[in-house]
Amino acid sequence: MSEKHHLLALLRHARAEPEQSPESDRERPLSLYGMTSARKLSHWLKANNLYFDRALVSAAQRTRETADLALDGSFVAERMDLPELYHTDMPGLWRALSTHGAARTLVVGHNPTMHQACTWLAKRPHAWENHLALSLPPGGFALFSLSQPISGTPLPASAELLMFTTVDQLENS
């Protein structure tokens, strides 16, 4: 990959425990299934030699736990837990990437924003189009190649979708 290309990975947090009350949403932990899924993603990242300069992680407990388990302290040079990524929208995501993004950035966040960003960025057609049609499932991961860093709102269909996986795919492989 040339120096001009940037990698952006979008990871939706793994499956969390059910919400007990609206006030407790931010503190919802991963379920046992979610923990197992995040560990499987860690093995997949290693098998695919994926490494990131920076991880931008929502400050919600489930995203922090997903990052802890999936990244396992070895796939990212720097991690930033950002409160502004919790319940952000696409403009908020683009602002965070404009401010904190690096040449190889991973964002661990929430739907609907992670799914919306995937469908916004992906050039069509792509092999994973059917998978991304409805949602980015818990633990879903998408890796994009961009010709320039994100500053402001990127153009729609402006990134090449290089890799995509879901927990279901990891369990069936």
Q: Please tell me the predicted confidence (pLDDT) of residue 4.
A: 64
Q: What is the mean pLDDT of residues 37-62?
A: 96
With a pLDDT cut of 90, the percent of the chain lying above it is: 71
How many Å apart are CA 26 and CA 20, to the nearest integer? Answer: 11
Q: Please tell me the predicted confidence (pLDDT) of residue 15.
A: 96
Q: Please tell me the predicted confidence (pLDDT) of residue 129.
A: 72
Q: What is the mean pLDDT of residues 106-132?
A: 87
Residue ranges covered by each domain of the chain: 6-171
Q: Please tell me the predicted confidence (pLDDT) of residue 37.
A: 96
- Binned at pLDDT 50, 70 and 90, residue 148 comes out as confident
Q: What is the mean pLDDT of residues 136-148?
A: 93
Q: What beta strand segments (E) does the chain contain?
A: 6-12, 52-58, 76-82, 104-109, 141-146, 160-165
Question: Quick check: 110 pLDDT over 70?
Answer: yes
CATH class held by domain 6-171 = alpha beta
Q: Please tell me the predicted confidence (pLDDT) of residue 2.
A: 41
Q: Please tell me the predicted confidence (pLDDT) of residue 151.
A: 86
Question: Quick check: 1 pLDDT over 50?
Answer: no
- Binned at pLDDT 50, 70 and 90, residue 19 comes out as confident
Residues whose CB falls within 8 Å of the CB of residue 67, separated by 6 or more in sequence, listed in order = 55, 57, 79, 108
Question: Quick check: 61 pLDDT over 60?
Answer: yes
